[in-house]
Amino acid sequence: MTALRGIVMIAAGVLAFLFPEQAVKFVLLAGGVLLLVDGVLGLASSDFSSRRDATFWLALVRNVVCIVAGLIVLGNGILTNVFTLGFLAGLVGLLAIIAGLVEIVSGLMDRERYSSATPAMVSGGLYVVFGLALLFMPLSSAATLIRVVTILIIVYALSLLYRAWRIRTVG
């Protein structure tokens, strides 16, 4: 299985390296789906019969922000006729930052639901980093970033193949 992971990663890495623009579009589409699913599942798992305190409202705002950001990304083809791609990327970046900050604050405030604030802080921090990248990384350099990342993926995949070979020779 380790060798199969390596082979799949190498194939995906080579394709992303050869076609970086399509890889960026795919990553954005996958990100939009993740935002939308995250928000919808967050709303579905909300307890609307519980008390309406600050953490309830923060979670509600976070989930709605994720849904809006996901819809913006997925509706990109329609919305680019009205707004520029840079504006939409900035808007989604801002919404991701808001969602991340709300996640961090709600993790710190709601000690009943979170035994440790660390997971909420990590996931919220990742949302913030994603949002900052969308705000400050020019979309034109995204293709270059994809190429750099795919080189790293291929190197990692080669290490998986080496590890699979070592496991097979030792066993």
Domain count, the chain: 1
Structural domain including 40 reads: 2-170
Phi and psi at residue 58, to the nearest 5°: -65, -45
For residues 15 and 23, the answer to whether their CB atoms sit within 8 Å is: yes
Please identify which residue in the block is written with the tokens 């909420």: 120
The pTM is what?
0.59
Sign, CA dihedral 79-83-89-95, equals negative
- Side chain identity at residue 124, one-letter code: G
Helix locations, the chain, DSSP H: 2-18, 20-44, 54-74, 76-79, 85-109, 118-136, 142-170
- Give the whole-angstrom CA distance, residue 153 versus residue 40: 31
Distances (CA, A) of 142 to 43, 72, 98: 32, 19, 23
- Give the whole-angstrom CA distance, residue 147 versus residue 145: 5
Give the pLDDT confidence score for residue 114 in this predicted structure. 57
What is the tens place of the pLDDT at every residue in 73-132? Answer: 787 766 666 777 677 777 878 888 888 898 888 878 866 665 677 777 887 888 888 788
What is the tens place of the pLDDT at every residue in 115-165? Answer: 677 777 887 888 888 788 878 876 666 677 677 777 877 887 888 788 778
- Give the whole-angstrom CA distance, residue 78 versus residue 86: 14
